[in-house]
Structure 1
């Protein structure tokens, strides 16, 4: 099959969960003999059309900052959406898999795909619904309306989690929606040893408001009362970093919390997980949570927030961790339980991660593509 993926951010130049999915699946499909192309902003220098591991990468426009003050910027989304129409309409792909966000590029991909006679899959990673109003205020009505237009116009929608599928139904997606989850590279994770720098608690993710790392900092302050030597590692970067570091200093816990910033080598992130004792994700919004799965594959229990918008909470069950309310005291209590040796089983953590290897995920993606290709 001739397959195209569409997303403005491209792995490994931008390293997020959506980028990881596109890259891991596309390179495996290319390895199986498919002609695979990825369309995104040109984050690399030189020729806009390059090849990596058998995957053709196409930079359709110059890269622009995707975030400003922690929020997605509007003009880059418009620029990227406009840059897609001609190349996608001309190439006549069998399958175009467009990530649902940012919505404008998904809408132009649907239009270009119909012109070319391609089957356009829209992969949904989360649904915002009324959260648009928290994100943009009154202007959120426009965002919610665009989300609904995409929902009703998606002929071949895919969800990455059951929580996302439920939200898609509320947004207006019709018919049966298959769930094809994200994954992890189990063989790679097994090959990495622990870091020489040990910690008790680790967070991995982008430092944005929705991740609520402030709750973790406050929880560390509470835990220090009976665990004065507790060590917390915050891995990642983002617009909230300076505020969070200032908060840690103000609460007097800077000596207990290390902010590593962005770690360029993914191996280093896994090594840090393997030298920690509990993975904490205080996020209230997660479309999936690849970092949570990676932690489980390391045998690390997870503490996360019990919120319907947090799809990663499905992993913190069955001996794999604990759920907390969005309260620092409750979060500290759940972490304390894990650190005491209760509430989890490392073997159960690893077993749960087994079903999410990228190879198995790619099998499901390929099967779905073949099923709609002949329609």
Structure 2
């Protein structure tokens, strides 16, 4: 199988969930003898075309800033798509790849990949991490119609779509014509890496890890933690950064036991985050918007009791199933469940057992099967 991935960013030179997924699946396919090429921006040192962990990296555009203020840059996405199109077209018309897999966000590279593949038999597979829909209004404000239209056009482009969760599958099905079957291939983790991550010098009884933005509802967690400190000598660690950090740190000062809460900021060392999960008894995140929720899987692999919000905009219930505890995203519900968890309540299914189904080896096998079906025309 000759697989081409299209992604403006390439892991590990840029770190993020979508590019890490490509890296983990791609390296495992390469180890099995498949030919893997990644088309991206030139974020690595050295020549425009090089090899990395068994894969060919092919730069079709120079390095560029990905963000304009706090949002992904639209001009960067358009620029990458425009630069990638002629080079993709050349290689596809030479019949160098059996399949092309394009990450959906930021959309324009999918459209460029489809145009590049016209008059070829190379199937286009897309990976949808989220479908934003009305969330565009919060993200782009008065420009939200542009975001919604671009998402809808991308959804209507002929493709073989992969999603990472059922909630994303349902949202995608709602905005696209019923053509190809939508396949679910989840995100993954390296379970062994989690289990062997070094423990920190100082751990916390309860941990949150994630971007500090409004829908993560960290303020709910802070209020709930304050409620249980009268009966539990517990500590809370908050890993992450974001626009809500200043407000949340100000809120901490009003807590009864503010000295038991520590904001650790963004940790550059991924294994440092995993180590904190291993040290914690409880991982709590009342986030109401999760297209998947990889931190839930990492925390389960670390054998934490995971507490997540039960919300229609979150895939948490699907990801943790009965290997964690679901709550309403309210202070009252979080307080009650935190109290139970600190008293030793555990979910019916062992968290580590649940996490195994998301190990990258398992996920890569699923992806390989789906890719082959697209090539064979049996999708």
Same structural fold, with TM-score higher than 0.5 when normalized by the shorter chain: yes
Residue 306 of structure 1: how far off its partner (Å): 1.1
Displacement of 1:170 after TM fit?
A: 0.7
Q: For 1:360, which of 336, 359, 362 is the aligned residue?
A: 362
- The answer to whether the Cα contact below 8 Å between 1:304 and 1:323 also exists between their aligned partners in 2 is yes
Decide whether aligned partners of structure 1 residues 270 and 329 sit closer, same or farther in structure 2, where only a CA change above 3 A counts: same
Report if the CA contact (8 A) 1:17-1:289 is conserved.
Answer: no
Q: Aligned residue pairs: how many?
A: 372
Offset at 1:43?
2.9
Aligned residue number for residue 85 of structure 1: 85
SS of the residue aligned with 1:168?
helix
Per the alignment, residue 189 of structure 1 pairs with 194
Residues 292 and 319, structure 2, Cα contact 8 Å, conserved in 1: no
Runs of 4 or more consecutive aligned structure 1 residues displaced over 4 Å after TM superposition = 250-254
Aligned counterparts, 1:215-254, within 5 A: 215-227=220-232, 229-251=233-255, 254=258
1:1-375, aligned counterparts within 5 Å? 1-92=1-92, 93-114=97-118, 116-175=120-179, 176-227=181-232, 229-251=233-255, 254-318=258-322, 320-344=323-347, 348-375=350-377
What is the alpha-carbon distance in structure 2 between the residues aligned to residue 50 and residue 83 of structure 1?
Answer: 19
Query: Which moves more between the two structures, 332-341 or 206-215?
Result: 206-215
Q: CA separation of 1:89/1:275 partners in 2, compared to 1, >3 Å: closer, same or farther?
A: same
Partners in 2 of 1:173 and 1:207 — Cα distance?
36
- In the TM superposition, residue 123 of structure 1 has moved relative to its aligned partner by 0.8
Deviation of residue 254 (structure 1)? 4.7
Any gaps of 5 or more consecutive residues in structure 2? Answer: none
Once residues 369 and 157 of structure 2 are traced to their aligned partners in structure 1, the CA distance between those partners, rounded to angstroms, is 23
Cα displacement (A) at 1:164: 0.9
Q: Over aligned residue pairs, what C-alpha RMSD do you find?
A: 2.2
SS of 1:355 mapped into structure 2: helix
SS in 2 for 1:114: coil
The whole-number CA distance in structure 2 between the counterparts of 1:245 and 1:45 is 39
Q: TM-score normalized by structure 1?
A: 0.91
CA change 1:158–1:305 in 2 (3 A) is same
Shift of 1:125: 0.9
Q: 1: distance between equivalents of 2:61 and 2:249? A: 35
Per the alignment, do residues 185 and 118 of structure 1 end up closer, same or farther by CA in structure 2, a change over 3 Å counting?
same
Provide the rounded CA distance (Å) in 2 between the counterparts of 1:241 and 1:64.
27
| Residues in 2 aligned to 1:150 and 1:289: alpha-carbon distance in whole angstroms | 24
Normalised to the residue count of structure 2, the TM-score between the two structures is: 0.90
